[in-house]
Amino acid sequence: MFQSILMMGGLGIAIGTVLVIASKAFYVYEDPKVVAIDDVLPGANCGGCGFPGCNANAQAVVDGLSDVNSCVAAGEDVAMAIAAIMGVSVSDKEPEFAGPGCYYGNADADLNYIYHGVRDCRAAAMLMGGMKVCRIGCLGLGTCVTACQFGALSMGEDGLPKVDQEKCTGCGACEKICPKNIIRLTSVTRRIIREYTKEDCVTPCQRACPSGIDVKEYIRLIREGDYHGSLQVIKERMPFPTVISRICPALCEFNCRRNLQDESVAINNLKRFVCDYEMNQDKRIHPYKAPASGKKIAVIGGGVEGLSAAYFSARLGHEPTVFETTDRLGGILRVAIARERLSLDVLDWDIQGITDMGVQIKTSQEAGKDFTIPQLLEKGFDAVFTATGGWDSRLARGGVNTAATVFPGAYLLIDLLRSGSDEKILVDCKKKVVIAGGGIRLPDAVKILKSKGAENIVVVSRKATKDSSFDQEGIEKLAKEGATIIYNTGITRVMGKDQSLTGIEYIELDTGVKHAIDTDTLIIGSGRFPELVFIPLRDEAQGDEAQENDEQLENKGLDTKEPLRWEGVELQKKPDANREFGLLSKQDVISEYSSAVAAINGGRQAAAAIHHLIYGIEFQNPVKMITKLSVLQDVHLLNHVPPTPRNILEIAASREERKDKFSTGFSSDIAQEEANRCLQCGLLCYEKPGLS
C-alpha cells in the first residue's frame, strides 16, 4: 500500500516536472494587444476584413497590416475601442471594392476550344491556360462568385463577373481565388499609383498614352451620352484635360487598332469635345479623392510636372503646396506655345481645376533664395519634391544670369562652367566635390573647381571604362589634378544636415552594390536639377537619448534644437534594362520633357513615390510591368469591320457657331458618330460590327 502511494506520488511529480518543462519549451507568447483586440471583435470570422478570421485580423491590426476600422461586421464603437487599445485615432478608411478587368466573355471572344470540364476557373486554367485565345482573359466559370461571402458578385449575361459596390467589403477573397488576376481590389489610391502589367487587359491606345488614360472607357461613355462620367475617367490620370486636348501629340492614335482597316479614331478630338462640355457648365466635374491623411507635401515648381504632382498628391489625400519662382503658373505652357493652339483661358481653366482639388499656391518663391528644402521640412512638410524644369524654363523666365541651387550644395555643370568666365554667376564650391557625369567638359570643370578651393573631386560616371570620354593619358592628367573617376555607377540618393550637403549614395550598375561618399558639393552634368523626393530623417534608435540630451541642455538654458538630417531619393525607374538605376540614366529627363503629357505622367509617378516614402513603404515596380521592350499578344488583321471615314475636326471661330454652344470642336452628333467608330478593344478582342 505504502509502496503504491510512493509510486503514484513519484509518478505525479515526474509528470508535473515534464509538464513544467514542456510549458517552458513549447510556450507560445500571446501579444496582449492581439488578445485585447480579438476580445473586442464580434467573432463573426466572416473574412470581410481580408484575413481568415477575427484573430488573424487582430494580429494584422497590431502588425500595421490592417486598419482599426477594418471589421465590416462591427460598428464605429468597435473601431473606437480598437483605436484606444492601439493608442491611435480612427481615420476615414478609403473604400476598396473589387473591379473586373476583362471586357469580353466566352460568347464574344475568340476561343481555342470549347470547355466542358469541371466548372471551376482554376481547373480550366490548368488546361492550356484556358479556352480563350487571349491568354489573360476571364474564363467566366464564376469561381470568384462562389468565393464572395457577401453576395456582392454575380455573373452577367455577357459571361463576366459584375460587382455590387454597395455590398462589396473589399475583403479580396475574389482576387485571391482568380487564377487569371482578372478581378482585383481597386480604389482611388490604387488607380493613381498603379503601373500596368502584362497581366492587365490594356488596349493598344492606352499603352501608347504616356499618362495611361483609359481611352476605351471614356469613349464608351461619350457614346452613351454620359459626358460627366467620361470626364471623370479622363481625370483619373489627367489634371490638364482641356489643355492636352489641344496640344497632345496623340500617340494613342498612332496605335489605334482601326489603323489596320482605315483611319484611327479621333481620340484626342473626342477628349476635346467632352472637356469643352465641362468648361461651359456651371459646376466643375471633379474626380474622386482619398480621405484626408494630414500629410503636408511641398512641390517646388509650378509647371506641368509640379502641378501634376500636387494634383495627384491631393487626390491621394495629402495637403500639397506648390512653390513657383515666377508670379504665374503653367511653366512652358504659358510662354512657349502659340496662343492659336492654346489660349490662356483654357490653361487657366485647367489650373483652377487643380487648385480646386485642394492645392495651395505660393508664387514668387525661388528655391535657394526665398526658402530652402531643409527649411520646408523644419516647417512641418512631410516631403518635398523638386520639379523645377530644365534649361528651357530658365531661359523663358530669364533665370540664366545666376547659378541656380535647388537643394543645398548642388549646382548644374553648365552654371559651373559659365562661372569660370562670368563673375556674376556664383558657385559656392567647398572642399569635397562629386561630379555626376561631365563628359568632355570634365577637365574644364575640374580646373574651375580647383581654382575655387576644391581638394577632393570624385566623378561618378555611368559609362563603362572602355566607353570613357578620355584616353589613358587624359585620365592620368585628371588624376594628377585631383579627380578620381568611378565608372559603371549612378547616384541614387543625396544626404544632408541642416543647410549643408553631407554625402551621396551611388550604386554599381553591374552588381547593384551601394556605397556612400562624404561630400559637401554636388555638380550635376545635365540641363536641369534631378527630380528628387526629400524627406526628413531621424535615427529612431537614438530618439530617447536625443530627448534626454535636449532636456539636459534645456535645464542649462542652452539651445535644444537637434540638427535636421534629410535625404533626397530618386524616383522609381521602369525596369527596361539592368543599368537604369541612378541619376542621368536614359529614363531621366536631362533638360525638358518631350511633351506635356509625358511631364504629367512624371508628376503622377512622383506623387506615388512621395506617398510611399512618407509612410515608410518600400516601393517596387510590378514584376511584369509593361515597358517598351514588352512582348504582348496583339492582332494584325481586323475581321468583319467595315471601313468608315474619320470625322475631321473643323474648329469653329466661336462656340456660338455650334448648336451645342459649348464646343469649338465636334458637335454632339459628330462626336457620337466618331465615338461609334471605336472598336472597344480588349487585349485581343474587339467589336465586330459586321456580324450584327
Q: Do 577 and 447 fall within a single domain? A: yes
Whether 53 shows a pLDDT value over 80: the answer reads no
Domain finish residue from 186, 216, 243: 186
Under the banding of pLDDT at 50, 70 and 90, the label for residue 75 is: low
pTM: 0.87
In 3D, which of 528, 533, 526, 459 has the Cα closest to residue 492?
A: 533
Q: What is the pLDDT of residues 586-621, one digit of tens each?
A: 888 888 898 999 999 999 999 999 999 998 888 778
Residue 607 is predicted with a pLDDT of 97
Residue 36 is predicted with a pLDDT of 83
- Characterize 25-52 residue by residue with b for buried, 16 or more Cβ atoms within 10 angstroms of its Cβ, and e for exposed: eeeeeeeebbebbbebbeeebbbbbbbe
413 within domain boundaries: yes
325 within domain boundaries: no
449 within domain boundaries: yes
Number of domains, the chain: 4
370 within domain boundaries: no
Most confident stretch, 183-197, 246-260, 553-567: 246-260
Whether 369 shows a pLDDT value over 50: the answer reads yes
Q: Do 104 and 216 fall within a single domain? A: no
Q: Do 519 and 657 fall within a single domain? A: no
Residues 6+ apart with CB under 8 A from 290: 94, 187, 188, 189, 315, 316, 317
How far is residue 168's CA from residue 72's CA, in Å, rounded to a whole number?
A: 10
Do 324 and 397 touch, CB atoms closer than 8 A?
no
Domain finish residue from 75, 93, 111: 93
- Which CATH number belongs to the domain containing residue 474 in this structure? 3.50.50.60
In 3D, which of 210, 216, 179, 175 has the Cα closest to residue 196?
A: 210
For residues 575-589, average pLDDT:
81
For residues 358-386, average pLDDT:
96
Percentage of the chain modeled with pLDDT above 70: 88
Under the banding of pLDDT at 50, 70 and 90, the label for residue 397 is: confident
Under the banding of pLDDT at 50, 70 and 90, the label for residue 541 is: very low
In 3D, which of 375, 409, 373 has the Cα closest to residue 500?
A: 409
Q: Do 580 and 510 fall within a single domain? A: yes
Under the banding of pLDDT at 50, 70 and 90, the label for residue 267 is: very high
Q: Do 467 and 442 fall within a single domain? A: yes
Residue 554 is predicted with a pLDDT of 54
- Which CATH number belongs to the domain containing residue 251 in this structure? 1.10.1060
Q: What is the pLDDT of residues 618-662, one digit of tens each?
A: 877 887 888 888 889 999 999 999 999 999 988 777 767 666 767
Q: Do 103 and 85 fall within a single domain? A: no
Q: What is the pLDDT of residues 333-367, one digit of tens each?
A: 998 888 888 999 999 999 999 999 999 999 999 99
Residue 156 is predicted with a pLDDT of 95
Residue 566 is predicted with a pLDDT of 97
Q: Do 436 and 580 fall within a single domain? A: yes
498 within domain boundaries: yes
Task: Compute CA 452 distance to the chain's CA centroid, rounded to the nearest angstrom.
Answer: 41
Q: What is the pLDDT of residues 145-184, one digit of tens each?
A: 999 989 999 999 999 999 999 999 888 899 999 999 899 9
Q: Do 242 and 267 fall within a single domain? A: yes
Domain finish residue from 159, 186, 213: 186
593 within domain boundaries: no
Under the banding of pLDDT at 50, 70 and 90, the label for residue 544 is: very low
- Which CATH number belongs to the domain containing residue 87 in this structure? 1.10.15.40
Under the banding of pLDDT at 50, 70 and 90, the label for residue 221 is: very high
For residues 11-20, average pLDDT:
69
Q: Do 53 and 127 fall within a single domain? A: no
Residue 489 is predicted with a pLDDT of 94
Name which of 270-274, 302-306, 417-421, 486-490 the model is least confident about. 417-421
Q: Do 480 and 503 fall within a single domain? A: yes
Q: What is the mean pLDDT of the chain?
A: 87
- Which CATH number belongs to the domain containing residue 150 in this structure? 3.30.70.20
How far is residue 55's CA from residue 201's CA, in Å, rounded to a whole number?
A: 37
Q: What is the pLDDT of residues 468-479, one digit of tens each?
A: 877 777 777 888
155 strand-pairing partners: 161
Residue 241 is predicted with a pLDDT of 97
Q: Which three cell numbers stand for residue 265?
A: 479614331
Q: What is the pLDDT of residues 86-96, one digit of tens each?
A: 765 566 777 88
How far is residue 596's CA from residue 209's CA, in Å, rounded to a whole number?
A: 12
647 within domain boundaries: yes
295 within domain boundaries: no
- Characterize 574-603 residue by residue with b for buried, 16 or more Cβ atoms within 10 angstroms of its Cβ, and e for exposed: eeeeebbbbbbbeebbeebbebbbbbbbbb
Under the banding of pLDDT at 50, 70 and 90, the label for residue 584 is: confident
Please report which helix (H) or strand (E) contains residue 565, including its range.
strand 565-570
Q: Do 146 and 279 fall within a single domain? A: no
Whether 245 shows a pLDDT value over 70: the answer reads yes
Do 278 and 285 touch, CB atoms closer than 8 A?
yes
Residue 542 is predicted with a pLDDT of 44
Most confident stretch, 9-23, 70-84, 433-447, 510-524: 510-524
Whether 57 shows a pLDDT value over 90: the answer reads no
Phi and psi at 360, nearest 5°, equal -85, 145
Helix axes 215-223, 668-675, angle to 10 degrees: 130
How far is residue 58's CA from residue 565's CA, in Å, rounded to a whole number?
A: 36
> 666 is in which domain, residue-wise?
204-286+631-691
Under the banding of pLDDT at 50, 70 and 90, the label for residue 416 is: very high
Q: Do 38 and 84 fall within a single domain? A: yes
Name which of 31-45, 393-407, 419-433, 540-554 the model is least confident about. 540-554
- Higher pLDDT: 470 or 75? It is 470
Residue 130 is which amino acid? G
Whether 192 shows a pLDDT value over 50: the answer reads yes
Name which of 256-260, 304-308, 487-491, 581-585 the model is least confident about. 581-585
